[in-house]
Amino acid sequence: MKLLEKIRVIDMTNVLSGPFATVHLSLLGAEVIKIENPDGGDLARKLGNVPNLNKDLMGTSFLAQNANKKSMTLNLKADEGKEIFRKLLKTADVVVENFRPAVMSRLGFSYDEISKINPRIIYCAISGFGQTGPDAFKPAYDQIIQGLSGVMDVNGDERLHPLRAGFPVCDTVGGLNAAFAIMAALYYREKTGEGQFIDIALLDSIMPLMGWVAANLLIGGKPPIPMGNDNFTAAPSGVFLTKDGHINIAANQQKQWEDLADELGVPELKTDPRFQERDTRKANRKLLTPLLEEKLKTKSTEHWVKVLNDKGIPTGDILDLEKALTGEQIKHRETIVDIKEPKIGNIKLFNLSAKFSKTPAKVETPPPRLSEHTEEILTRLGYTTDDLKRLKEKMVI
């Protein structure tokens, strides 16, 4: 049995935050029916760095988070499209959308209306700022939220600040938050039989991830200082130069610091009043780093990673993305798997990162072609071959 077996999700989402939420549900075994506009479908189908895939409406951005889903095209502005959608809602457990607030209401499918059709349904709306409030109707892309949330303020250093995260962190965290909330609502429904409305804001979702940094300001009264690759909680903790590149060292505990000083051959630093205590080390990190790097630059990153880790000092190489994605630990964990797409061939996709002992979950089918499952789904709803032909002629599907 799959964890979400017999759970049907109506996925109205586009691009990233919503599809990232629903791909977690599809990997867990839910039947995720992706409702797409007959005219081109999800915008992500045209996004990516492979032009031929974009033209084929299978862009890499779409492939990244739509495995195990079914694609159905439906024009919700047409009366017959609305009728089909109502029939689908009666069979569904979850609806997820990431339109701007009120879009679904204008189509006649607010949560209140949908709950009349199916009182047990869980409706999750993902938006930049939430469904209410002074900013609710403002446009919101990931970088906009990074700027408004403070994320860009805590990145970078004195040379490059503010600085965005190198991937759409707000969209992905918002999607993960939505998946978590949907699972919680399904658990509640299991106990009570009641569905409910979930309001997910990207702005709300990202801020708690800055809990430690925010607490220093909210409770300690100290705003963040752009520190680049240094860890604000401890020193020495950050990125350091070696003979042939860079290394991450996180000597966050006092013993780790003292062992590091011994391994680098600078035991005198342990009793130096500038570096003896944690807080004084933090205050004097710019004096400490060159003293450590003088020793680190005598040998390779590979050497220091082994020596320091063997001593119990958390240390690691800094890999380029290709090496990171092909590492032995990643292979062992099956974090990335191959799946065959009929026209493209083998593609590499991320598996579900949670490992369940009794209900294992994995990528089983490739991301769907646009409208690949429309006929299958409508046939199950009772539509005939003639009905399908008529609906296509009217551009309902």
In a domain, 245, yes or no: yes
- Asked if residue 202 and residue 82 are part of one domain, the reply reads yes
In a domain, 34, yes or no: yes
Parent domain of 126: 8-208+331-393
In a domain, 229, yes or no: no
Q: Of 261, 293, 318, which residue constitutes the final position of a domain?
A: 318
Interatomic CA distance for residues 128 and 168, integer angstroms: 13
Q: Of 294, 318, 342, which residue constitutes the final position of a domain?
A: 318
Structure confidence at residue 55 (pLDDT): 97
In a domain, 242, yes or no: yes
- Asked if residue 352 and residue 306 are part of one domain, the reply reads no
Q: How many domains does the chain have?
A: 2
In a domain, 384, yes or no: yes
- Asked if residue 184 and residue 278 are part of one domain, the reply reads no
| pLDDT bucket at 95, cuts 50 / 70 / 90 | very high
- Asked if residue 339 and residue 289 are part of one domain, the reply reads no
Q: pLDDT digit string (tens) for 257-315?
A: 999 999 999 999 999 999 999 999 999 999 999 999 999 999 999 999 999 999 999 99
Structure confidence at residue 382 (pLDDT): 96
In the chain, the percentage of residues whose pLDDT exceeds 70 is: 100
Contact at 8 Å (CB) between 155 and 162?
Answer: yes
In a domain, 278, yes or no: yes
Q: pLDDT digit string (tens) for 60-93?
A: 999 999 999 999 999 999 999 999 999 999 999 9
341: number of Cβ within 10 Å: 17
- Asked if residue 247 and residue 195 are part of one domain, the reply reads no
Mean pLDDT of the chain: 96
Q: pTM of the entire structure?
A: 0.94
Active site residues: 171
Contact at 8 Å (CB) between 340 and 38?
Answer: no
- Asked if residue 246 and residue 161 are part of one domain, the reply reads no
In a domain, 324, yes or no: no
The torsion angles phi and psi of 128, rounded to 5 degrees, stand at: -65, -45
- Asked if residue 107 and residue 139 are part of one domain, the reply reads yes
- Asked if residue 177 and residue 53 are part of one domain, the reply reads yes
- Asked if residue 186 and residue 49 are part of one domain, the reply reads yes
In a domain, 221, yes or no: no
Q: Of 287, 318, 349, which residue constitutes the final position of a domain?
A: 318
Contact at 8 Å (CB) between 374 and 71?
Answer: yes
Interatomic CA distance for residues 41 and 74, integer angstroms: 10
Q: What is the CATH number of the domain that holds 290?
A: 3.30.1540.10
